Amino acid sequence: MATRYFRDFPARTGDRMLFKMEHYLELYDELLAGWQGRDIRFLEIGIYKGGSLPMWQGFLGPKSRLVFCDIDPACCALALPGTVVEIGDQADPAFLQRIGQAHGPFDLIVDDGGHKMHQQITSFRHLWPRLADRGLYIVEDVHTSYWPGFGGGFRAPASFIEFAKDLIDRMHSWYTEDDERFPLHPLAREIGGIRFHDSLVVIEKRLKAPPVALTAQNGQVGRSRRMLEVRGRRSIF
């Protein structure tokens, strides 16, 4: 039976306000089903009224290291036993570096912070190296990529959505036939997958070697990376 932890959580809240898009809760039940009860290192950017602290604490294992960040010093009062609250600007590389060094590497990072383009992109660039292999980096409320007041706009080059679309290209740069304009990018060795949902992006870290094409017949298995080396192909075979 599929878990309903996140979908059922709003009915169990106390006096702390939880503010999430409703459909995120169903997505989290599906996406994180195998994470429930695991002891991990977790980071969420954005505390607001503190409603997500008990949500994540109740979902993850009792030995998890739970770190929450916000720019508002008043959020220090919202810390729960067993959690850490750090105050700083998610667009400040020095702050992000300190968080990563002090508490990382993280298994799960959720960006529910200021939602502005420079904040989301700066946080990703500096925290992605602090994400562990097989970890997830989740960016919520990416609908702000379409709001000029947040630095976005439809197909605005500086939006997080356009930044995330570019990550798709980097993930596939193994297969380039344009070595000068589209060279192999280091992120090809690190991104396992990217999922776009309504106003939410999930990026999986999966450290990997260059992909291999496999052939198998009569139990004999062959492997080749020739697909990555040849240029000017007219056939995949």
Catalytic residues: 115
The residue ranges of DSSP E strands in the chain, in sequence order, are 41-45, 65-70, 83-87, 106-111, 131-140, 191-197, 200-205, 213-217, 220-224
Residue 202 phi, psi dihedral angles, 5° rounding: -120, 125
- Give phi and psi for 26, each to the nearest 5: -65, -40
Closest CA to 166 of 127, 202, 207, 194: 194
**Helix, strand or coil for residue 33?**
helix
Distances (CA, A) of 87 to 76, 98, 107, 150, 237: 8, 11, 21, 22, 54
C-alpha count within 13 angstroms, C-beta hemisphere, residue 4: 6
Integer Cα distance of 195 and 213 in angstroms: 24
Helix (H) or strand (E) holding 59: helix 52-59
d(CA 68, CA 180): 42
Q: Which two tokens stand for residue 174?
A: 């193994």
